[in-house]
Amino acid sequence: MHHWVQASSSDFSGTPPQARSGHTAVNVGKSMVVVFGGLVDKKFLSDIIVYDIENKLWFEPECTGSESEGQVGPTPRAFHVAITIDCHMFIFGGRSGGKRLGDFWVLDTDIWQWSELTSFGDLPTPRDFAAAAAIGSQKIVLCGGWDGKKWLSDVYVMDTMSLEWLELSVSGSLPPPRCGHTATMVEKRLLVFGGRGGGGPIMGDLWALKGLIDEERETPGWTQLKLPGQAPSSRCGHTVTSGGHYLLLFGGHGTGGWLSRYDVYYNDTIILDRVTAQWKRLPIGNEPPPPRAYHTMTCIGARHLLIGGFDGKLTFGDLWWLVPEDDPIAKRSSVPQVVNPPEIKESERELDKERGQDGFSIVDLQQKMGISVSSGLRLQIPEESEDQEFVELGTRLIEGDVVDERASMIQMAAQALRQHWKQSTPRTLQLKELGSLLRDYQRLVTRIFTTQSSLTSADFGLPGTKTFTFYHIKSSSELRINDISKLLEEYKTLVI
């Protein structure tokens, strides 16, 4: 069991970082964490804030060295990458205003001196939202990102001694181009998870890249990994932090499925167990921090430190510790309450913030999104052949040749659509499908229980067992946000 504990002034001295997102925070050995850059209120930052782990002190070093646009060090930026090798922090790319950057800097944290590096070879194009990791004690691998026009899938390796970039030639299947993903070295492999891809979809796939270690003499190649367990939902802007025998994933944002105009921000904590090679939900004993993305997480001994982030509206300036239950500060957490809420809760939380109320009506969303709403009361449940919207939705899902007989086509469309809904979640269900789903739910209830001649008042949510709660609902506009999960759950019991 772990606990989230909001940092307080008693945890350290000095001034911690101001609110920001899109910044970087990296460990320099076991002695300090270095925070650089970020974005707050449309202002890009270039400050360096350091946490001295041993002395529990935040301080802002006075840096010297190369200048850029009249100031020491890199220009203000966010959504860059930062990698440490020994006492050196390397910075590449990012964004400043509407400009993507391609410059390369190093900060010597022994003497706090910036140097802009002139590298050569296969230079990466300017980009933001890329991901990078250290390979051993000399090289850096950089992959993907967004160059302002397209999503990228290229991979570069940079030798920090010779300052030479090499674009990796990778054989076989490749991950889709992406940005806002994470890249983590696990022994001899680079693991890439999630991100936003071409055309805008947010992804939840996991890939492994081999061939980065010279001594192995492997041909570089990607492999998609499909691991067992409770895998994270699709997301970007999350963090993955290495902690002992596991990788720890926190936060990020995705698209809200049937509420497709709403981004959903996460505050779940998921681990990838390197020993069993499976995903697991990390048991949390209290309420987590507010959902967010483009934050940072760093590992400090048995603790993890969360800094900043963004939830679509607010930029956070809070700091949080994630600690095991035997940590002395775990006692400061709120009253224990095991937290691993169903995924729908995050959708509800974001929507409640958006509308400022609980459980508002689906009709509000339908009208806001331009989806027609039937105002008349439906006196009877139509058969599949008479339900034009149902048939059209199912027909789009049919693969292969459609037979000529209309009855057979309707049967195939109904079967395809029911299987689609059987595999759907509240997050993936489209708002425009709700009317057809409700009618088919009622159609199946009537058909099954009329055939069985055992339809009782208890089956319709009257006194007794509330098995089929929505049978008497006249229109999907009467549904509320909180009803969607229950409707899907009951519908799935009706589909063979």
Give the pLDDT score at 405: 45
For 174-226, write each residue's pLDDT tens digit.
Answer: 999 999 999 999 988 999 999 998 766 899 999 999 988 877 788 899 999 99
pLDDT, residue 450, reads 56
Predicted pLDDT at 333: 67
What confidence score (pLDDT) does residue 451 get?
Answer: 52
- Evaluate whether 341 touches 50 at the Cβ level (below 8 Å): no
What distance in Å separates the CA atoms of residue 111 and residue 390, rounded to the nearest whole number?
68
- Boundaries of every domain in the chain: 2-332, 388-453+466-494
Is residue 421 within 8 Å of 495, Cβ to Cβ?
yes
At residue 380, the pLDDT reads: 65
DSSP 83-126: EEETTEEEEEEEEETTEEEEEEEEEETTTTEEEE---EESPPPP
Closest CA to 244 of 189, 300, 160: 300
Are the CB atoms for 264 and 292 separated by under 8 Å? Answer: no
Q: Which residues partner with 5 through β-bridges? A: 321
What pLDDT sits at residue 198? 74
Half-sphere CA count of 215, side-chain side, radius 13 A: 4
HSE value, Cβ hemisphere, 13 Å, CA-based, for 337: 5
Residue stretches of the chain with pLDDT short of 70: 199-200, 256-262, 333-380, 399-408, 449-467
DSSP state of 133: E
Q: Which residue has the tokens 């391609």?
A: 102
Q: Considering only the top CATH level, what class is 2-332? A: mainly beta
Q: What is the pLDDT of residue 354?
A: 33
**No. of helices (H) and no. of strands (E), the chain:** 6, 32
Rounded-to-integer distance, Cα 138 and Cα 193, Å: 24
Residue 287 and residue 3 in contact, taking contact as beta carbons nearer than 8 Å: no
DSSP codes joined into one string, 366-404? HHHTT-----SPP-SPPPGGG-HHHHHHHHHH--SPPPS
Among 20, 32, 101, CA closest to 294: 20
Whole-angstrom distance between the N-terminal and C-terminal Cα of the chain?
39
Distance CA 369, CA 320 (A): 37
